[in-house]
A and B are shown apart, each in its own frame.
Chain A
Amino acid sequence: MIKIKDLQAGIEEKEILRGIDLEINAGEVHAIMGPNGSGKSTLSSIIAGREDYEISGGTIDFEGEDLMDLSPEERAHKGVFLSFQYPVEIPGVTVSNFIKTAINESRKGRGEEAMEAREMLAMMREKTALLEMDKSYLSRSLNEGFSGGEKKRNEIFQMAMLQPKLAILDETDSGLDIDALRIVANGVNKLRSKDNAVLVITHYQRLLDYIEPDFVHVLYNGKIVKSGDKSLALELEAKGYDWIKAENA
């Protein structure tokens, strides 16, 4: 589904990613772990199309198309979704209007008809229930005054509504208590299928207890230095990151 080859990128003069290679196929769940500052969030932002970074080399191929040529909205229309580490508060725009707009703009971008109001409503009802959200969420201003947990739940709600092919969850577990973590992970698991893929970016292993990865990669100093199955995550949890640092010093 997505093939990243030798991706190098930075911000201003600072080099952050130093040659990332990563391939994710439909139906797979990948996890990227790594210490703070290793480049995890940079990678997810670049896949989603954030323009603050300078790409100095490499390619990102998404279903046969070069993502680099596409705007963030075009990537979304193709099925790329990023759950933000820090979702932005937008006063004056309600969750329901926002998601309605996002769905219909994405459909328009793909040359499809707008979703019927009745269908939209039914879907909202179903997805709020899935994430154990009160329906009053829908009429609140987007993320405004939301607790950390509510913001993350709202991200997964949007994912559930937009039904992306590739969902990138950037530190979705941070700021969540154990109950919220379970609800969010359950939401993600319900959305998994053989046709879509998930990339989980996390500092800690605990989210991976709930969303089981097929592959785990360790990102350190802008490079993937180790890949393995889910046992690698457990090893990292037990041993910390110091041995990775030592190996790559």
Chain B
Amino acid sequence: MTDLAQDLLSSFVIAESELNGSKNLAVVNMRKEALDRFEALGFPTTRDEEWKYTNLKPILNRDYKIMLKSESAVSFGDIKQYLLSDLDTYKLVFINGKYSSWLSESTHQSYDICTFAAALNKYPEILSTYLGKAAPSGETFIDLNTAFADDGAYIRVKANQTVDKPIEIIYLTTEENGSTFSQARNLIVVEQNAEVQIVERHQNLGNVESFTNFVSEVFAARDARVSYYKVQNDSIKASLIDNTHVQQETNSNVHIGTYTFGGKLVRNNLHFYAGGEHTESHMDGITIIGDGQTVDHHTLVDHMEPYCYSRELYKGIYLGKSHGVFNGKVLVRQKAQKTNAFQQNDNILLSDKAKVDTKPQLEIFADDVRCSHGCTVGQLDQSALFYLRSRGIPKREAEGLMTYAFASDALEYVKIPQLEKRLNRVIAGKLGINLEFAL
């Protein structure tokens, strides 16, 4: 049996000096320490409480080429379908871990929309202020990423700036290298009263397995506004562990939307740290998966200061032999009086073989708060189905219409109309309905 952990440890020795930032002693030390922690922790198993319902073994027990960077001839035509082609955007495109300046559209004009490699090599003060400050050490996948990551998106929006168009970040893998294990990293810094919209996706273009361990750190300063949409519609051969950690200061508003339709195994670790008063933390998502797919949403909102609001709404539709997990933790610290936290996870099982594990987890140490949570797992309402059919709508369309209606209120906060339309189209396609219903 192959041992991915061992392969990673030995390849680090070779890779280390070639990574971006290897001239920066602070980065070098950070990587070494992270690798040591990874070595001590190893990969989690289902005996770990946080991984109880998601078994990584089938993903880990494979031969991967540990990806650093490699050239690949990908043309605009190959990736066009993954872009919001009807919209002008900034684009950061990475192919097999390497930034493609040819396919990208970056800027340094009013804001930095460029690469994590550039940050590693050129902005030591940014690194010392932000790198690893939102994503905590001591979590095995984060440590592993910290040790290896040397490219990804770097976005910095200076105070009072609004980025004039959305930013698309796309990570592509191709099949020339066989099955690959890759680790990219985003660093997103949104300064006081600045605003940005980001759309991100990972896409396996080949017919081989891919496994991505991804970290994204987001810093929203006072009054900053961030919309960050994750479109997870990768091939059935792709697995992803996404670790997104958001640090919020006073009066900032951050929305992370996660729309998961593709992938073999997708685990989203999404953590919000509400570290200022009057913050708004929004996280929502739609999951529609089928045979052979597992999607696991693990969220945390850490309310540290008073007068904050968090809203969490995840909808799941499960077809075939699929497995969904939702674990939503809301932590309200003693100081965080007047917190208003809402959490809801609703699931529909459209097959006898589909399975959902859902678990709200509230830890509240303040006494003057409003926290609500709920989770449901059910089938389609038969009375409603009959109602639609009695009006002449065929069974299949009626089921599609109802599941569509069930899911679509999680799209309410999508602020880019072209993206909303695109997501609607994907959902309609997944549910086999005529889009006329929705629009």
**Interface of A toward B, CB cutoff 8 Å:** 48-52, 71-73, 75-77, 81-82, 84, 87-93, 97-98, 100-103, 105-106, 109, 158, 162
Find out whether the CB atom of A90 lies under 8 angstroms from the CB atom of B394.
no
B141 interfacial contact with A, CB 8 Å: no
Please tell me if the beta carbons of A101 and B395 are within 8 angstroms of each other in the complex: no
A to B CB contacts below 8 Å, 28 in the list? A48-B390, A49-B386, A52-B382, A71-B389, A71-B394, A73-B393, A73-B395, A73-B398, A75-B390, A76-B390, A77-B392, A81-B390, A82-B390, A87-B387, A92-B408, A97-B436, A98-B388, A98-B391, A101-B401, A102-B388, A102-B391, A102-B392, A105-B394, A105-B397, A106-B392, A109-B392, A109-B394, A162-B392
The reply to whether A92 and B409 form a contact with Cβ atoms under 8 Å apart is: yes
Q: Is B390 touching A93 in the complex (CB atoms < 8 A)? A: no
Interface range on chain B: under 10, 10 to 19, 20 to 34, or 35 or more?
20 to 34
Q: Which residues of B contact A76 (CB under 8 A)?
A: 389-392
| Cβ-defined partner of A100 (8 Å) among B387, B398, B436 | B436
- Given A90-B384, A101-B397, A101-B436: A158 in contact with B409 (beta carbons within 8 A): no
The 9 closest A-B pairs by CB, nearest first: A92-B405, A76-B392, A106-B392, A72-B389, A102-B391, A88-B387, A88-B384, A73-B389, A72-B390
Task: Find the B residue at minimum CB distance from A49.
Answer: B390
Interchain nearest-CB distance for B308 vs A (Å): 28
Give the residues in chain A near B406, CB-CB below 8 Å: 92
A103 to B404, CA, bound (A): 20
A115 shortest CB reach to chain B, Å: 12
* With A72-B386, A97-B437 as contacts: A90 and B402 at CB distance below 8 Å: yes
Bitwise, B349-390 to A at CB < 8 A (1) or not (0) is 000000000000000000000000000000001111011111
Task: Give complex CA distance A51, B395 in Å.
Answer: 12
Cβ-neighbour of A105 out of B381, B384, B392 (below 8 A): B392
Residues B7-58 near A (CB distance < 8 A): none
Chain A residue nearest to B439 (CB atoms) is A97
Closest residue of chain A to B393, judged by CB? A105
Q: How far is the CA of A84 from the CA of B384 in the complex (A)?
A: 11
Q: Please name all residues of chain B whose beta carbon is closer than 8 Å to the beta carbon of A48 when the two chains form the complex.
A: 390
A33 to B3, CA, bound (A): 76
Q: B405 to chain A: which residues have CB within 8 Å?
A: 90-93
List 9 additional contacts besides A97-B438, A105-B397; criterion CB under 8 Å: A49-B386, A51-B386, A52-B382, A73-B389, A73-B390, A92-B405, A92-B409, A100-B436, A162-B392
Q: How many A-B residue pairs have CB under 8 A?
A: 81
Q: Which residues of A contact B438 (CB under 8 A)?
A: 97
Q: Which residue of chain B is the closest to A52 with respect to CB atoms?
A: B382
Q: B404: which of A71, A75, A81, A92 is its contact (CB, 8 Å)?
A: A92
Query: For residue B398, which residue of chain A has the nearest CB?
Result: A73
Contacts of A91 in B (CB 8 A): 405, 409
Q: Known contacts being A91-B405, A92-B409, A93-B405, is A102 close to B393, with CB within 8 Å?
A: yes
User: Which residues of the other chain, A, contact B408 by a CB distance below 8 angstroms?
Assistant: 92
Closest residue of A by beta carbon distance from B381? A88
Q: Within the complex, what minimum Cβ distance (angstroms) separates B56 from chain A?
A: 35
**A158 B387 Cβ-Cβ under 8 A:** no
Among A75, A84, A101, the most chain B Cβ lie within 10 Å of the Cβ of A101
Near A by CB (< 8 A), chain B positions 388-438 give: 388-395, 397-398, 401-402, 404-406, 408-409, 434, 436-438
B381 neighbours in A (Cβ, 8 Å): 88
For residue B227, give the distance in angstroms from its CB to the closest CB of chain A: 22
Chain B residue numbers with a CB within 8 Å of A81 are: 390
Q: What CA separation (Å) do A81 and B390 show in the bound complex?
A: 7
The complex places the Cα of A50 from the Cα of B395 at a distance, in Å, of 12
Q: Which residues of B contact A72 (CB under 8 A)?
A: 386, 389-390
Interface core residue of A92, A100, A162 (most chain B CB under 10 Å): A92
**Are A158 and B391 within 8 A (Cβ)?**
yes
CA distance A91 to B315 in the complex (A): 14
Enumerate chain A residues within 8 angstroms of B382, measured Cβ to Cβ. 52
Cα-based distance from A158 to B404 in the complex (angstroms): 22
Q: Tell me, in angstroms, the Cα distance from A71 to B383 when the chains sit together.
A: 15
A50: chain B residues at CB < 8 Å are 386, 390
Q: Complex Cα distance A106/B394, Å?
A: 9
Min CB gap B354→A, angstroms: 22
Chain A proximity of B75: nearest CB distance (Å): 39
Residue of A nearest to B391 (CB): A102
In the complex, chain A residues whose CB is within 8 Å of the CB of B402? 90
How far, in angstroms, from A73 to B408 measured CA to CA in the complex? Answer: 25
Point out the residue from A52, A71, A89, A162 that lies within 8 Å of B391, measured CB to CB.
Answer: A162
CB distance from A106 to the nearest CB of B (A): 4
Q: Knowing A105-B394, A105-B397, say if A49 contacts B389 (CB, 8 Å).
A: yes
